[in-house]
């Protein structure tokens, strides 16, 4: 009988320190400067899913506000730094709300770090908001190479309290979804599965887990 394990291992908090930089040195440098108040106060990050945009926004908002944009998003009036993720998901009213928050932050000396899957000019949002998002610094977040993904997986495992062997990393990169968000979620689930079955995280366990998941 499988014993359900209490997931007492917390998911690692996204920070600048545990961000795998790869080709994104310029990006993280500008984001950190924006947070410190020594750089451009309005930054827009774009890149494919799993490229690290959300990690950077959550790291930037460690002592501020992170907002996962949705159709009916409402943005707090009192914050001096807002990290608005996935702006392409905003509905009509939420677009007006972010437009107004942008203007308020601009007047008050605040900071906005926003992100989307495409550059501002390609966003299907109201024109005045698109213009505002494109006024500041626009940077592409590049996805990691396989070698960088391997490093990220190893570090993520260590943060959860176990060592991930290279053969398991190679197997996951070859058989699990390839964006980092999905890879981290797979590794977290595999860790829980390991605890439940009281077995180490091996290629055999990973194969069994992914096969069971795919057959559900």
- Other CB atoms closer than 10 Å to residue 21's CB: what's the count? 15
State residue 10's pLDDT score.
58
Dump pLDDT digits (tens) for 170-185.
999 999 988 888 899 9
Name which of 213, 121, 205, 106 is nearest 164 in CA terms. Answer: 205
pLDDT over 90, % of the chain: 81
Q: How far is CA 26 from CA 22, 29, 30, 112, 137, in A?
A: 10, 5, 6, 18, 11
Dump pLDDT digits (tens) for 97-125.
999 999 999 999 999 999 999 999 999 99
pTM: 0.85
Dump pLDDT digits (tens) for 78-99.
889 999 999 999 999 999 999 9
CATH second-level architecture of 25-140?
A: 3-Layer(aba) Sandwich (3.40)
State residue 174's pLDDT score.
94
Name which of 103, 104, 73 is nearest 87 in CA terms. Answer: 73
């Amino acid at each position: 009988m499988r014993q359900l394990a209490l997931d007492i291992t917390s998911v690692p908090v996204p920070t600048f320190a545990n961000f795998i930089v790869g080709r994104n040195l310029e990006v993280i440098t500008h984001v950190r400067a924006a947070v410190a108040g020594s750089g451009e106060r309005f930054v827009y990050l774009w890149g494919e899913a799993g490229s690290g945009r959300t990690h950077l926004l959550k790291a930037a908002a460690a002592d501020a506000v992170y907002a996962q944009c949705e159709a009916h998003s409402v943005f707090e009036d009192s914050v001096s730094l807002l990290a608005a993720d996935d702006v392409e998901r905003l509905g009509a009213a939420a677009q007006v709300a972010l437009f107004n928050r942008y203007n308020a932050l601009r007047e008050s000396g605040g900071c906005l770090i926003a992100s989307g899957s495409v550059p501002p000019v390609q966003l299907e949002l109201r024109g005045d908001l698109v213009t505002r998002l494109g006024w500041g610094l626009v940077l592409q977040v590049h996805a990691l190479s396989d070698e960088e993904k391997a490093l990220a997986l190893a570090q993520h495992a260590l943060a959860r309290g176990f060592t991930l062997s290279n053969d398991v990393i190679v197997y996951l990169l070859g058989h699990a979804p390839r964006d980092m968000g999905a890879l981290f979620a797979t590794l977290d689930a595999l860790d829980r599965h390991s605890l439940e079955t009281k077995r180490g995280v091996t290629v055999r366990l990973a194969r069994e887990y992914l096969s069971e998941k795919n057959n559900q």
